Amino acid sequence: MTQEEATGPSRECDHVELPVTRQVASSIPDWTSPVLVVQHVRPDTAAFIQVLLEANIKVSTVVAIPYSSDDACVAKLSDSVRMLCPGLDEMSATAAAEVRALSQQDGRRVVVQDVGGYFADALRGDPTLGASIRGIAEETKQGLWRYRNLENCQFPVVQIADSRLKQIEARYVGAAVALSALEATRCIGNASIGERIAVVGYGDIGAACARTVRGIANTVYIWDTDPIQRIAAAADGFMIATPEEIVGNCRLIIGCTGKESVGQEWFADVSGDYYLASGSSRDIEFRRLLNWGAGRSQDYTISQYARRVPVTRIDLDLGRLHVLRGGLPINFESASLPYDIIDLVFAQLLVAMVEVELGDEVGLRGLSDDGQHGIASAWLSTHGATGHASIRNDFAKYAVRPS
Ligand SMILES: NC(=O)c1ccc[n+]([C@@H]2O[C@H](COP(=O)([O-])OP(=O)(O)OC[C@H]3O[C@@H](n4cnc5c(N)ncnc54)[C@H](O)[C@@H]3O)[C@@H](O)[C@H]2O)c1
């Protein structure tokens, strides 16, 4: 599979504008610490790194997440910064070795911008790594959960994952997860309207996903291990169902828990075909199931016109489980967020990095209220209440260009 098949066509790096992020960057006093960034290297991220470099923030190295990074953007960024492209299993060790080397070269501790808690894993393996780290700015829930498990953290970790501002992004991600899963279903030749479809995990992304699936005339069944979330789903008008009831009623199951949620025990007695799509980071949602099924699985590709969906199929005694994109996030086949919302996320990430660079308080905390309100005001005055309309009317600017 080529990189393009894995991640979809890229939008052009030069055409992503991040005016609010740029505004934050222009207000930063002298930056001293070297910076290592772990990211999905896509056109939007490439633009973010460019904004940081132009503001004299010392980004030395970018570690590209393998399942989502784009060759053209990696190549373009490598003109300005050192790019590392390890495999998924080597991410933590590679990033950790690089931080040590950077800190030694520069004589200063390193600010890390992490996505998914790769450094939390490295620090658990080797706590002495902490001596090379000034602090960490973390973007995702997956990362937040991993940093929560770190004991005795001696530097600041500022996360934006559960900020009120970041929750706005989940509405778009959930919708993208739903649309990508339904599109894959349509490609296979199955109905994606008027069906019974399950969403597992009724958090920020699962709830947005469920609303979108329902919005195109499907009946949505919800399972969440947290009873309060199950009540919330019922109050929002969804069917709440046990795993047994889900498997008895639904052929498409979309996992949005960020945990190893759907396991082989769900399918003990089934026949026929089931399709599983993940909205969570990495390949975590169906990992337990995929590990269990390793000896009886095979990979194939659904091909319809220009669309290619890689699938891992697990054969049961009577049934078959089709894990779309091998359990990687289903929405990563194309862009999920409009650029004005990407601008909102990167502005938060940059404020988190500044709070790490300038702050002294050690341990894990969320982005400050002042930081969030400052970004919200800047976003409203830049993109405005009609920001979406003006961005979308300017669509041609962002269009994919023929190469
Ligand atoms: N696909 C993307 O583009 C993308 C973007 C951002 C974040 N994410 C990831 O999506 C995942 C979900 O994020 P979120 O913000 O919705 O998290 P969240 O904490 O708001 O929601 C997760 C929900 O899953 C439930 N849950 C946990 N374990 C479960 C289990 N075993 N079975 C059933 N329910 C279970 C929790 O009770 C919670 O309600 C995270 O891994 C996050 O990092 C994905």
Residues 213 and 64 in one domain: no
334 lines ligand 1 (CB under 6 A): no
352 and 282 in a single domain? The answer is no
Domain contains 262: yes
| pLDDT 10s digits, 335-390 | 889 889 999 999 999 999 999 999 889 999 999 899 899 999 999 988 875 555 44
Does residue 243 sit in the same domain as residue 193?
Answer: yes
Residue 334: predicted pLDDT: 80
Is position 355 within any domain?
Answer: yes
The CATH number of the domain holding residue 248 is 3.40.50.720
The response to whether residue 336 sits with its C-beta less than 6 Å from ligand 1 reads yes
Question: Which ligand 1 atom is nearest residue 142's CA?
Answer: 43
Q: Provide the whole-model pTM.
A: 0.89
pLDDT for the residue 363: 95
Is there a domain that residue 141 lies in?
yes
The residue out of 300, 315, 333 marking a domain boundary is 333
**Residue 222 and residue 241 in one domain:** yes
257 lines ligand 1 (CB under 6 A): yes
Helices (H) and strands (E) in the chain — how many of each? Answer: 15, 15
Of the three residues 278, 305, 333, the one that is the final residue of a domain is: 333
- Looking at the fold, whether 340 and 328 belong to one and the same domain comes out as no
Q: Give the per-residue pLDDT at 385.
A: 59
CA 195, CA 8: separation in Å to the nearest integer?
Answer: 27
Structural domain contains residue 147: yes
CA-closest residue to ligand 1 atom 39: 203
With tokens 């967020």, the residue in question is: 337
- Of 316, 333, 350, which one is at a domain's C-terminal end? 333
Q: Domain with 347 in it: what CATH number?
A: 3.40.50.1480
Same domain, 155 and 9: yes
For the chain, 403 residues long, give each residue's pLDDT as a single digit of tens: 333 333 444 445 557 889 999 999 999 988 999 999 999 999 999 999 999 999 999 999 999 999 889 999 999 999 999 999 999 999 999 999 999 999 999 999 999 999 999 999 999 989 899 999 999 999 999 999 999 999 889 999 999 999 999 999 999 999 999 999 999 999 888 899 999 999 999 999 999 999 999 999 999 999 999 999 999 999 999 999 999 999 999 999 999 999 999 999 999 989 999 999 999 988 999 999 999 999 999 999 988 888 889 999 999 999 999 999 999 999 988 888 988 999 999 999 999 999 999 988 999 999 989 989 999 999 998 887 555 544 444 444 444 444 3
pLDDT for res 296: 95
Residue with the smallest CA separation from ligand 1 atom 17 is 203
List 220's β-bridge partners, or say none: 197
Domain membership of residue 113 as a residue range? 3-166+336-398
Is 116 exposed, middle or buried, given 0-12, 13-18 or 19+ CB atoms closer than 10 A?
buried
What is residue 2's predicted lDDT score, i.e. its pLDDT? 37
Distance, in Å, from the CA atom of 178 to the CA atom of 200, rounded to the nearest integer, reads: 12
Please give the Cα distance from 118 to 92 (Å, whole number): 5
- Domain presence at residue 243: yes
Residue the block writes with tokens 């080529």: 2
Is there a domain that residue 188 lies in? yes
Domain shared by 159 and 173, yes or no: no
Do 37 and 160 share a structural domain?
A: yes
Question: Residue 197's beta-bridge partner residues?
Answer: 220, 252
> Is residue 403 included in any domain, yes or no?
no
Q: Determine if ligand 1 sits within 6 Å of the CB of residue 333.
A: no
pLDDT at 398: 42
Q: Are both 127 and 63 inside the same structural domain?
A: yes
Instruction: Indicate if 356 and 207 belong to the same structural domain.
Output: no
> What distance in angstroms lies between residue 120's CA and the mean position of ligand 1's atoms?
18
Q: Number of structural domains, the chain?
A: 2
Same domain, yes or no: 158 and 47 = yes
Q: For residue 35, is it within any domain?
A: yes
Q: 352: closest CA among 115, 77, 177, 17? A: 115
- Sequence-distant (≥ 6) Cβ neighbours of residue 23 within 8 angstroms: 347, 378, 382
Gap from CA of 279 to ligand 1 centroid (Å): 8
Kindly state whether residues 18 and 104 are assigned to the same domain: yes
Distance 104 CA to ligand 1 centre (A): 37
